[in-house]
Chains A and B, each alone.
Chain A
Amino acid sequence: MRRRNAPIITENSQVYTFTRRALVLGAGQGLLAAALAGRMAYISIAENERYNLASDENRIQMRLMPPRRGWIVDRHGQPIAINRSDFRVDLIPDRLHDPDRILAELARLLELPADEIERIRAELKHAAGYQPVPVAENVPFEKYAAVTVRLPELPGVAPLRSFSRFYPDAAAVAHLVGYVGTPNRKEYEAENKIPLLITPGFKIGKEGLEKTMEQRLRGKPGAQRIEVTARGQLVRELSTLSDVSGQPLPLTIDGGLQTFAARRLGEESGSVVVIDCLTGDILCLASMPAYDPNSFTDGISQNEWKMLAEDERHPLINKALNGLYPPGSTFKPMVAMALLQAGIDPTARVNCPGGFQLGSRFFRCLGRHGPMTMHTALARSCNTYFYAMGRRAGIDVISAMGRRLGFGQKFDLPVVSQNYGTMPSAEWKERKYKDDWSQSDTLNTSIGQGYVIVNPLQLAVMSSRIASGLDLQPHLIRANRPAPQPLPFAKEHFETVRSGMWEVVNGAGTAGRSRLEIPGVEMGGKTGTAQVRRIVGSQRGQSGEWKYRDHGLFVCFAPTASPRYAASVVIEHGMGGARAAAPVAKDVLTYLFDKEKAMASLIKFEEQWGGTMAQRMEVRAQRWLAEKAAEKAALQNGGGGATR
């Protein structure tokens, strides 16, 4: 079959075949050479732009430089939160090839403690390649320099000069401004994973104004174009675009007053709120005890956090906004306004025999006051008057007035949260408890007990609205705003209530001992004492365990002649408004009129308490650590004994 048309093959025909086929192969080789040259031309000419870009993308990296945060300043331009330059060292997991060696080297250079190394190891294990793991912040310059000179032998290590947040007034502004920290995964994802959030050294606001005003404070990051090798080593810097720091944020707060109030609260757990009666500006929003926001900037240790979380005085809670208390008698100025609105004659008398009989129930007063007018009832805080008149006026008018003066309200403020409490009404009780409003509910409400709970800011707002007669809205951020409008109530009503509050401090009232010692400036106020739990037997919340004692409250304004400032002071478990809260209010208002006098009395107090706020916090922390250590030791000894 094969032979049928096979050609005759000779040596010559083979030479011919070879030459022909060799020429075919040679042509093929030439074609391939041309194809290769063409392919190369295509890659290097037609696609040159694309590959140039890719080559630059390889070698040039943008290194973001976190922007400096805008300052937070007080109403006089004094700094509340500023930036301090510091040095830090991070690890980039992607570029880390020999973590053990590098970590050992860093531990030696930076003198890292063992538990820090453990933390870094743990974070490295969970880190996504792009996210830097912080090694150390606030590194002293000598150690920082020691790392930078060894950088070529330390691939994956990124030293950086950055800025950290600093709060000169420390704990005094903690709850107000909050603190900053490294963004967590959730925050990173919430902002569409923008690379800035994972830039080493970048912090975002985690609490307070730092959190709510984040976008304004943040600024725009700078960028550095750097040339790097495939292993991530820096070859050289190409260009730098500087950052745009965030806008400064001016507050309505008076920094001096804020610090003074925080210091004056001393060892107590409580809050001070001061409002400007002309504008509604919040001059002071202090809550104590507090944490040091500076310690959060570098990341807080577990011990520190535990200590804060376990403290029964709740240093992590902003009591001025989130503390809720029955207002007690500090409620009465508002109730008095409601009574007047209901048409009750302020000169009408109610006899106080030591209480008020409603059906089979006797509602107690704190004393036998005899015949009382609105003026004397406010001055001496007679419950009987308010029981009787409150019942006559009815809950509807009281609860409408309460809301109008700020209770149960949430204010338009850049804060993380406000607990707005309860201003009860018949409709509210029906909704909440599916029950009818009763006369005794009205009686309890009239003296600020029962369902009523309020926060200290609301108390201050009430005080400022009564003091000014204006519909003041509290503000934290300084801005030009339209003048506040008057409240739609008769001027005489405000004057009647204000004169009762004048009597409280300056006449035969409950806070006589706290009158201002400044010539020509008088303070009006109202004390309040709120039960923490029901009266059991003879114990009236005036003794016994701290956490069951009554709260002391005080609302006030000054000067009475022409109100300029209004304030509320709440001292948790302070046992009484006159005893605990009014003296604080007196000193805080004194500060506004005579700083030196106020400071002199504060320094005396601080000597009694055992040092400045920072010193006392330090002592407390040491004591706590010692206690924990002792507990741990006892536990180990006990455990060891049991097993033996």
Chain B
Amino acid sequence: MRGASFVPAPVATLPWGMLWIVLALGAAGVLALYSAAGGSFSPWAAFHAVRFTAFFCMALVISRFRTETFHDLTFVAYAGGICLLILTLMLGVIGGGARSWLELGFVRLQPSELMKPIIVLVIARFYARMPPKEIRRWAAIWPVGVFLGPPILLILLQPDLGTTMLIVLNTIALMFLAGLPLRLFIGSGIIVGAALPLVYSFLLLPHQQKRVLIFLDPEADPLGAGYHLTQSKIAIGSGGLFGKGFLNGTQSHLEYLPEQHTDFIFSAIAEEWGLVGGCVLIALFFLLVRWGMNVAIESKGRFERLTAAGLTLTIFFYLAINLMMVMGLAPVVGIPLPLVSYGGSAMLTVMICLGMLMAIDRGNKKDRRN
């Protein structure tokens, strides 16, 4: 801000600290994908770089919007998202056992991913417009269910339990921030804890039940479904403090580590860069999330506040669950590491979130200057 005289204002006002973090994460992804391909830019690293650049520019464009625009477009986006989900169920491509992708010719779109920031907007808008004293009423709860119902149902039909879980978690966190009475969360926490065994036996499909079982005891089936988890832990564990060195990972290069370019990319990085590399990555993500939470706290408007928090939490849940999964702290669900993993949909979602966060941040700064 002090250098405003040298650089044009729109560039100078960008949150450079956060952007450097994002660029560093993208670069880490390119490096990891370069290594995963055995020291080659194809098939992953080059495309990842191009896609990252494109989405990064898109995020910068989004950051130029005014937050009121998001507010006004919320229900249009919601309706559009629902339409895309319906289209996906009708015309979608099956991948990984679920009909989650919409083939658009030039890109494969995962509408359930797009739905994450849209739902954040919907919830934020709903609570922003609610008079403060209504917040402790029943009327503060059931409409959320109404908004959440259709997209959740459509995503469950794909079936994509992972995304559903993320959306629900995100929404609950947002309701918590919106100021709903604390006892509701404590009470339902107890009820959910008690209900988990029932959910496990009656609602989960056999392959999902298996994943949970294997999460609890991965070594029981090291060659079967526990294979992913075991190999991931071997990759991280054999990396040691400083790792085996760039391009020297055996777990990844000899193909013992499955999905090393998508969901398990963190393990591949940890194998080559060790605990040090892994902690740098975790720290970068933590700083990014902390920046997002700060943006939320600094926001003046209730809509901006809740939106910023919701978008940050979306990013947070991605990486938290992915990192817990690769370290054996959560069951194996197909959730990529945002910005680093190869794949378009998750990166698109995260970049949209970051773009909107930057827009809110810009608004905050403008308020402060005024």
Question: Of the candidates A2, A17, A54, A227, which one forms a contact with B179 in the assembled complex, judged by CB atoms under 8 Å apart?
Answer: A17
* A17 CA to B250 CA, complexed, in Å: 50
User: Is A29 in contact with B236, judged by CB distance below 8 angstroms?
Assistant: no
B223 to nearest A CB, angstroms? 11
A303 within 8 A of B: no
* A43 CA to B236 CA, complexed, in Å: 7
Which B residues, 261 to 293, have Cβ-Cβ distances below 8 Å to chain A? Answer: 270, 274-275, 278-279, 282-283, 285-286, 289-290, 293
Q: What sequence of 0s and 1s flags, for each residue 225-252 of chain B, a beta carbon within 8 Å of any chain A beta carbon?
A: 0000011011111111100000000110
Question: Of the candidates B177, B236, B282, B328, which one forms a contact with A22 in the assembled complex, judged by CB atoms under 8 Å apart?
Answer: B177
Question: Of the candidates B176, B285, B327, which one forms a contact with A40 in the assembled complex, judged by CB atoms under 8 Å apart?
Answer: B327
* A235 CA to B250 CA, complexed, in Å: 11
User: Is A33 in contact with B327, judged by CB distance below 8 angstroms?
Assistant: no
User: Is A40 in contact with B132, judged by CB distance below 8 angstroms?
Assistant: no
Q: What sequence of 0s and 1s flags, for each residue 316-353 of chain B, a beta carbon within 8 Å of any chain A beta carbon?
A: 10001001100111000000000000000000000000
A50 / chain B contacts, CB cutoff of 8 Å? 237
Kindly name the residue among A10, A44, A229 whose own CB sees the greatest number of chain B CB atoms within 10 A: A44
B136 within 8 A of A: yes
A11 to nearest B CB, angstroms? 5
* With known contacts A51-B238, A58-B251, A18–B132 Cβ distance under 8 A: no
Kindly name the residue among A37, A58, A229 whose own CB sees the greatest number of chain B CB atoms within 10 A: A58
Chain A residue at minimal CB-CB distance from B238: A55
User: Is B293 in contact with A25, judged by CB distance below 8 angstroms?
Assistant: yes
A228 within 8 A of B: yes
> Number of contacting residues on B, CB 8 A?
51
In the complex, the number of residue pairs spanning A and B with C-beta atoms less than 8 Å apart equals 144
B309 within 8 A of A: yes
* A228 CA to B253 CA, complexed, in Å: 11
A25 to nearest B CB, angstroms? 7
User: Is A44 in contact with B239, judged by CB distance below 8 angstroms?
Assistant: yes
A116 within 8 A of B: no
A634 within 8 A of B: no
Chain A residue at minimal CB-CB distance from B239: A44
Q: What sequence of 0s and 1s flags, for each residue 10-54 of chain A, a beta carbon within 8 Å of any chain B beta carbon?
A: 110111011101110110011011011101110111011011101
B238 / chain A contacts, CB cutoff of 8 Å? 44, 48, 51-52, 54-55
B324 / chain A contacts, CB cutoff of 8 Å? 36
* A11 CA to B278 CA, complexed, in Å: 42
A231 within 8 A of B: yes
B297 / chain A contacts, CB cutoff of 8 Å? 18-19, 22-23
* With known contacts A10-B132, A36-B323, A18–B279 Cβ distance under 8 A: no
A-B contact pairs, 17 of them (CB 8 A): A9-B136, A18-B178, A18-B296, A23-B297, A26-B293, A29-B286, A30-B286, A32-B320, A36-B282, A36-B320, A37-B282, A40-B282, A44-B238, A58-B250, A229-B254, A229-B256, A235-B254
* A480 CA to B173 CA, complexed, in Å: 90
* With known contacts A10-B132, A40-B327, A58–B234 Cβ distance under 8 A: yes
User: Is A14 in contact with B236, judged by CB distance below 8 angstroms?
Assistant: no
A162 to nearest B CB, angstroms? 27
A192 to nearest B CB, angstroms? 23
* With known contacts A14-B179, A14-B302, A40–B270 Cβ distance under 8 A: yes
Q: What sequence of 0s and 1s flags, for each residue 106-132 of chain B, a beta carbon within 8 Å of any chain A beta carbon?
A: 000000000000000000000000001
- Which 6 residue pairs of A and B lie closest in terms of their CB atoms, listed nearest first? A51-B237, A55-B238, A230-B255, A33-B286, A229-B254, A17-B179
B133 within 8 A of A: yes
Question: Of the candidates A10, A11, A32, A43, which one forms a contact with B302 in the assembled complex, judged by CB atoms under 8 Å apart?
Answer: A11
* A51 CA to B237 CA, complexed, in Å: 5
A6 within 8 A of B: yes
B154 to nearest A CB, angstroms? 28
A25 / chain B contacts, CB cutoff of 8 Å? 173, 176-177, 293, 309, 313
B362 within 8 A of A: no
B48 within 8 A of A: no
B256 / chain A contacts, CB cutoff of 8 Å? 55, 58-59, 229-230
B99 within 8 A of A: no
* A227 CA to B251 CA, complexed, in Å: 12
A39 / chain B contacts, CB cutoff of 8 Å? 327, 329
Question: Of the candidates A14, A17, A47, A228, which one forms a contact with B254 in the assembled complex, judged by CB atoms under 8 Å apart?
Answer: A228
* A8 CA to B323 CA, complexed, in Å: 41
User: Is A21 in contact with B177, judged by CB distance below 8 angstroms?
Assistant: yes
* A14 CA to B178 CA, complexed, in Å: 8
A43 / chain B contacts, CB cutoff of 8 Å? 233, 236-237, 327-328
B296 / chain A contacts, CB cutoff of 8 Å? 18, 22
A41 to nearest B CB, angstroms? 6
Which A residues, 43 to 101, have Cβ-Cβ distances below 8 Å to chain B? Answer: 43-45, 47-48, 50-52, 54-55, 58-59
User: Is B255 in contact with A229, judged by CB distance below 8 angstroms?
Assistant: yes
* A21 CA to B177 CA, complexed, in Å: 6
B135 within 8 A of A: yes
**Which residues of A approach B to under 8 Å, CB–CB?**
2, 6, 8-11, 13-15, 17-19, 21-23, 25-26, 29-30, 32-33, 35-37, 39-41, 43-45, 47-48, 50-52, 54-55, 58-59, 227-231, 235
A37 to nearest B CB, angstroms? 5
Q: Chain B interface mostly helix, strand, loop or mixed? A: helix
Question: Of the candidates A18, A37, A227, A235, which one forms a contact with B177 in the assembled complex, judged by CB atoms under 8 Å apart?
Answer: A18
Chain A residue at minimal CB-CB distance from B327: A39
A14 / chain B contacts, CB cutoff of 8 Å? 132, 135, 179, 302
User: Is B179 in contact with A40, judged by CB distance below 8 angstroms?
Assistant: no
**Which residues of B approach A to under 8 Å, CB–CB?**
132-133, 135-136, 173, 176-179, 230-231, 233-241, 250-251, 254-256, 270, 274-275, 278-279, 282-283, 285-286, 289-290, 293, 296-297, 302, 305-306, 309, 313, 316, 320, 323-324, 327-329
User: Is A52 in contact with B275, judged by CB distance below 8 angstroms?
Assistant: no
A32 / chain B contacts, CB cutoff of 8 Å? 320
User: Is A55 in contact with B279, judged by CB distance below 8 angstroms?
Assistant: no
User: Is A9 in contact with B179, judged by CB distance below 8 angstroms?
Assistant: yes
B313 to nearest A CB, angstroms? 8
Chain A residue at minimal CB-CB distance from B135: A9
B318 to nearest A CB, angstroms? 13
User: Is B236 in contact with A40, judged by CB distance below 8 angstroms?
Assistant: yes
B329 / chain A contacts, CB cutoff of 8 Å? 35-36, 39
B296 to nearest A CB, angstroms? 6
Kindly name the residue among B136, B178, B250, B285 whose own CB sees the greatest number of chain A CB atoms within 10 A: B250
A10 / chain B contacts, CB cutoff of 8 Å? 132
User: Is A44 in contact with B236, judged by CB distance below 8 angstroms?
Assistant: yes
Chain B residue at minimal CB-CB distance from A32: B320
* A58 CA to B278 CA, complexed, in Å: 22
B323 / chain A contacts, CB cutoff of 8 Å? 36
B358 to nearest A CB, angstroms? 18
A231 / chain B contacts, CB cutoff of 8 Å? 255
A-B contact sample (16 more), CB < 8 A, given A29-B320, A51-B234, A59-B256: A17-B179, A18-B297, A18-B306, A18-B309, A25-B177, A29-B290, A30-B286, A39-B327, A44-B236, A45-B240, A48-B241, A51-B238, A52-B238, A55-B256, A229-B255, A235-B254
A48 / chain B contacts, CB cutoff of 8 Å? 237-238, 240-241
* A465 CA to B195 CA, complexed, in Å: 92
* A47 CA to B324 CA, complexed, in Å: 17
Question: Of the candidates B241, B282, B328, which one forms a contact with A44 in the assembled complex, judged by CB atoms under 8 Å apart?
Answer: B241
B328 / chain A contacts, CB cutoff of 8 Å? 43
Chain A residue at minimal CB-CB distance from B136: A6
B9 to nearest A CB, angstroms? 29
A227 / chain B contacts, CB cutoff of 8 Å? 250, 254
A50 to nearest B CB, angstroms? 7
* A59 CA to B282 CA, complexed, in Å: 28
B327 / chain A contacts, CB cutoff of 8 Å? 36, 39-40, 43
A404 to nearest B CB, angstroms? 66
A28 to nearest B CB, angstroms? 10
* With known contacts A19-B297, A41-B275, A44-B270, A51–B236 Cβ distance under 8 A: yes
* A30 CA to B279 CA, complexed, in Å: 13
* With known contacts A10-B132, A51-B236, A54-B234, A40–B320 Cβ distance under 8 A: no
